[in-house]
Amino acid sequence: MDETKKNSILIVEDEETSVMILTSILSQEYAVYAARNGQDGIEMAEMYLPDVILLDIVMPEMDGYAVIKALKDSEITRNIPVIFLTALNDCENEEKALTLGASDYINKPFSSSIVKLRVKNQINIINKMHILFEKTLVETSSHVKLDFLSRMSRKMLSPMHTIMDMTEKLKTLDSSDDTKEYVDAIDVSSRYLLNFINELLDLE
């Protein structure tokens, strides 16, 4: 994970005042984008792939429930954590939001410190997942390389031994000084290659 990269937040909220307050709370630490309706929110989520989405429930035309359903149905956005931030503070709506895949639920009027902490918790989870993924990728790549080298080295052993055997037989034949020089060069090179192959096999 690149530590210099700012994590990003998408706010999907139709109330301008709430957007301004949330932007003020979060913009010092994160890159913040805002959509004023559900459809724009879905399009911006697919375009910017934010790390976290703050989503209101009550919005004209397309409410937050429809938005999160569309986000979770899409392969592009389904893994983005969604935090509902809404004035609907009853258990029924909170349960519905969590059932649809929300990662958290914040009631309005909200506390700036609570918003920061809830967002930070999701960002921390995301960053740890990125680090784990990159570590796994490096380990897998190293394993694949070693496996490839091992298999190739084993396949090279048989022809290498054949070359060395034939070289030894050539040494026993009467030959000119030039031919002997060539045979000696083959012998030295083949032994060098054999040592190299054995070193590769020792990496297993």
92-123 per-position pLDDT tens digit: 999 999 999 999 999 998 889 999 999 999 98
Residues of the chain with pLDDT > 90, as a percent, come to: 49
Q: Which residue has better confidence, 156 or 124? A: 124
pLDDT of residue 5: 55
Task: Judge contact between 9 and 30, C-beta under 8 A.
Answer: yes
Q: Is the dihedral of CA 13, 18, 22, 24 positive or negative?
A: positive
Percent of the chain with pLDDT over 70: 92
Whole-number pLDDT of residue 3:
45
Question: CB of 31 within 8 A of CB of 9?
Answer: yes
Most confident by average pLDDT, 35-39, 123-127, 170-174: 35-39
- What pTM did the predictor assign? 0.62
Which CATH architecture does the domain made up of 8-110 adopt?
A: 3-Layer(aba) Sandwich (3.40)
Residue 155 confidence class, pLDDT cut points 50, 70, 90:
confident
- Asked if residue 52 has pLDDT above 50, the reply is yes
Is the pLDDT assigned to residue 57 strictly greater than 70? yes
